[in-house]
């Protein structure tokens, strides 16, 4: 399976990198970075640190959007720390980004592999929106998009009603929703069931020492955030769930929904809604993960990480 990873690393993004390293079913074609959890410059440095940690420096890393399409930039350093990787410290990378920017690299790779590329978006989808605006033919050539995004019934983590990735760039997400691309949405409704705790870290005994140490130090910060701001014990590992379902879709139960986004609401800006009873009569435009087998996902994550 040929995949482009579009990401804003980010602690849970970093866990998705680690899981992808442990998923030989996936052939990563490129890693494209975006603004999101922190600035695109810091996210890009983090992506390069992670490919070095994981021995993935053969995969091109392209820097992407510095800001959303319309809104001003948001960052979430209280959630992910000043560097974006919590308490984890990795060596400064010597690997360089490729010369082409993220949106252009997406265009090039999809055009060279029509019908074959899955795009896994685990940050704001600005790069993909820019690619679709520049080359509208892409919508027919992208195999599918899996996006960790939004919330249907669960409370928002950016505003009372909106999820962070969609909140950062709602206009780009709107472009994706209207693109006609085969779209899978992995919302907070399922990711916030997947709470990673110290007990899971214990279960990583036997995993590569530096990777286990990275997971321990990065998630320690994430757990502090969840405890202080959300009263949650453990941390929601949103992004790795979206990666996992690429190869193990039965971890979640999907519903076909017509999904829309509020671009103007005073209290509900950047909220996505799913038309459960098809009140609009509109054709479904997304598959939305609404239930998750939490234990199966945690087992999958831990077992796979131990294979690295
Ligand atoms: C999403 O927002 C970011 O903070 C995380 O990396 C994840 O992609 C969760 O709302
Ligand atoms: Ca992310």
CA angle 31, 35, 38 (to 5 degrees): 110
Ligand 2 centroid to 80 CA: how many Å? 10
Ligand 2 centroid to 223 CA: how many Å? 16
Shortest-distance ligand to the CA of residue 81: 1
The residues with which 179 forms a beta bridge, in sequence order, are none
- pLDDT band for position 294 (50/70/90)? very high
Domains in the chain, CATH or no CATH each: 2-305 (3.90.245.10)
For 304, what's the count of Cα atoms within 13 Å in the CB-facing half-sphere?
Answer: 23
**pLDDT the model gives residue 280:** 97
Q: How far is it between the farthest Cα atoms of the chain?
A: 54
**pLDDT the model gives residue 163:** 98
Mean of the pLDDT values across residues 230-237? 96
| Its pTM surpasses 0.95 | yes
Mean of the pLDDT values across residues 286-308? 98
**pLDDT the model gives residue 166:** 98
**pLDDT the model gives residue 7:** 98
Pairwise CA distance, residues 134 & 104, whole Å: 9
Query: Mean pLDDT across the chain, nearest whole number?
Result: 97
Residue with the nearest Cα to atom 5 of ligand 1? 12
Shortest-distance ligand to the CA of residue 168: 1
Q: In terms of Cα–Cα distance, which of 219, 221, 227, 222 is closest to 203?
A: 219
Which residues have CB less than 5 Å away from ligand 2 (the ion)?
8, 10, 13, 122-123, 239
Give the model confidence (pLDDT) of 86-145 as tens digits. 999 999 999 999 999 999 999 999 999 999 999 999 999 999 999 999 999 999 999 999
Q: Which atom, in ligand 1's list, is nearest to the CA of 11?
A: 6
Give the model confidence (pLDDT) of 190-208 as tens digits. 999 999 999 999 999 999 9
Give the model confidence (pLDDT) of 140-178 as tens digits. 999 999 999 999 999 999 999 999 999 999 999 999 999
The helices-and-strands tally (H runs, E runs) of the chain is: 13, 12
Pairwise CA distance, residues 73 & 184, whole Å: 25
Provide residues with CB under 6 Å of ligand 1. Answer: 10, 12-13, 37, 76, 79, 122-123, 148, 157, 163-165, 238-239
- Name, in order, each residue with C-beta under 8 angstroms of 47's C-beta and a sequence gap of 6 or more: 7, 9, 17, 31, 33, 61
């Amino acid at each position: 399976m040929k995949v482009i990873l579009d990401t804003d690393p980010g602690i849970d993004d970093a866990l998705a990198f680690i899981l992808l390293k442990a998923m030989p079913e996936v052939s990563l074609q490129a890693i494209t970075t975006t603004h999101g959890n922190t600035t695109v410059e810091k996210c890009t440095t983090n992506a390069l640190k992670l490919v070095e940690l994981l021995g993935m420096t053969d995969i091109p890393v392209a820097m992407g959007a510095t800001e959303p399409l319309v809104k001003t930039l948001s960052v979430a350093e209280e959630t992910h720390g000043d560097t974006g990787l919590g308490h984890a410290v990795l060596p400064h990378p010597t690997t360089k980004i490729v010369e082409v920017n993220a949106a252009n690299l997406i265009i090039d790779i999809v055009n060279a592999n029509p019908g074959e590329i899955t795009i896994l978006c685990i940050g704001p989808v600005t790069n993909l929106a820019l690619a679709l605006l520049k080359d509208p033919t892409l919508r027919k050539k992208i195999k599918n998009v899996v996006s960790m995004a939004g919330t249907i019934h669960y409370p928002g983590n950016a505003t009372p009603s909106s999820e962070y990735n969609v909140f950062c760039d709602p206009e780009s997400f709107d472009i994706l929703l209207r693109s006609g691309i085969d779209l899978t949405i992995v919302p907070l409704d399922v990711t916030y069931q997947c709470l990673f705790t110290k007990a899971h870290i214990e279960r990583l005994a036997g995993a590569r020492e530096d990777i286990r140490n990275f997971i321990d130090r990065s998630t320690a910060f994430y757990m502090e955030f969840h405890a202080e701001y959300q009263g949650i014990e453990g941390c929601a590992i949103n992004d790795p769930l979206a990666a996992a379902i690429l190869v193990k879709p039965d971890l979640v139960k999907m519903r076909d929904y017509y999904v829309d986004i509020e671009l103007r609401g005073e209290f509900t800006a950047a909220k996505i809604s799913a038309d459960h009873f098809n009140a609009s009569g509109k054709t479904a435009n997304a598959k939305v993960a609404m239930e998750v087998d939490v234990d199966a996902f945690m087992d999958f994550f831990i077992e796979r990480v131990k294979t690295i």
